Amino acid sequence: MKYTRTITLLALCAAISACDTADTTLANGGITLKDNIVTLHVDGAPDAQIDANGALVIGDKPVTVSPSQHGLLMLYFQNVSDVRQTGLAMGKIGAGMGMKAIKDSLDGKSKGEKDQDAEAGGQRLKTLGLKMCQDQASITDIQDQLAAQLPAFKPYAKISTKRVADCEKD
C-alpha cells in the first residue's frame, strides 16, 4: 500500500515537471516570477516589480533607491529565483524517481530494492525542500529590511515568518 502511494506521488511529480510552467508563485500568489521579473501583488496597492538588476517599479513608476536598498532588491530577486530553481530541481528528481520506479517494476526488481530507491529519492527531495524553506526565510528577512528602509516597499512585505516556520516543520 505504501509503495502504491509512493508510485502515485512520483507519477504526479513527473507529470507536473513535464509541464513547461514559466511562473513561480509564492505567498498565496503575493509573489510571482515570470519572464525574469518578480511581481508583488497586494490588495489596495499597485503591483510592484523587481528585475534581476534590482530595479523597483511600483504601479509603472520607477522608484529611486539607495545603493543599500538596491542591493537588497537584487537579493530579494535572487532568493525568489532560487526558490524557482529548487522547485525545478525537485520536479526533475520526482520525474526521475517515477521513471525509475516504472523501470524497476518492468525489470522485476524486488519490493525491498524499489523501496530503497524511493527512500533515496525521498531524501534528496527532503534536502531540497529544506533549502526552499531557507530561501523563503531569506526572502522574509530581506523584505523586512526593505520595509524598514524603503517606505514604498512596506505594503509588499507580506510573507509571514509563521509560514516559513510551518515550511520547516513540514
> What per-residue confidence (pLDDT) applies to 112?
62
Return the beta strands (E) in 64-153 as ranges: none
Percent with pLDDT over 70 in the chain: 76
What's at 146, amino acid-wise?
A: L
What's at 127, amino acid-wise?
A: T
Angle between helices 67-107 and 111-149 (to 10 degrees): 170
pLDDT digits (tens, 9 = 90+) for 94-124: 887 777 777 777 767 666 665 676 777 788 8
Half-sphere exposure at residue 79, Cβ-oriented, CA atoms within 13 angstroms: 21
pLDDT digits (tens, 9 = 90+) for 135-153: 888 999 999 999 999 999 9
4, pLDDT greater than 80: no
pLDDT band with cut points at 50, 70 and 90 for residue 68: very high
Whole-angstrom CA distances from 8 to 15, 93, 123, 160 are 11, 15, 17, 32
With contact defined as beta carbons under 8 Å apart, do 149 and 142 qualify?
A: no
> What per-residue confidence (pLDDT) applies to 158?
78
Return the beta strands (E) in the chain as ranges: 24-26, 31-34, 37-40, 48-51, 56-58, 61-63
Residue 39 CA to residue 31 CA, distance in Å, equals 6
> What per-residue confidence (pLDDT) applies to 19?
52
Question: Which residues contact residue 108 at a Cβ distance below 8 angstroms, ignoring those fewer than 6 apart?
Answer: none
pLDDT band with cut points at 50, 70 and 90 for residue 3: very low
Whole-angstrom CA distances from 70 to 17, 22, 75, 77, 142 are 33, 25, 9, 11, 12
pLDDT digits (tens, 9 = 90+) for 51-65: 999 999 999 999 999
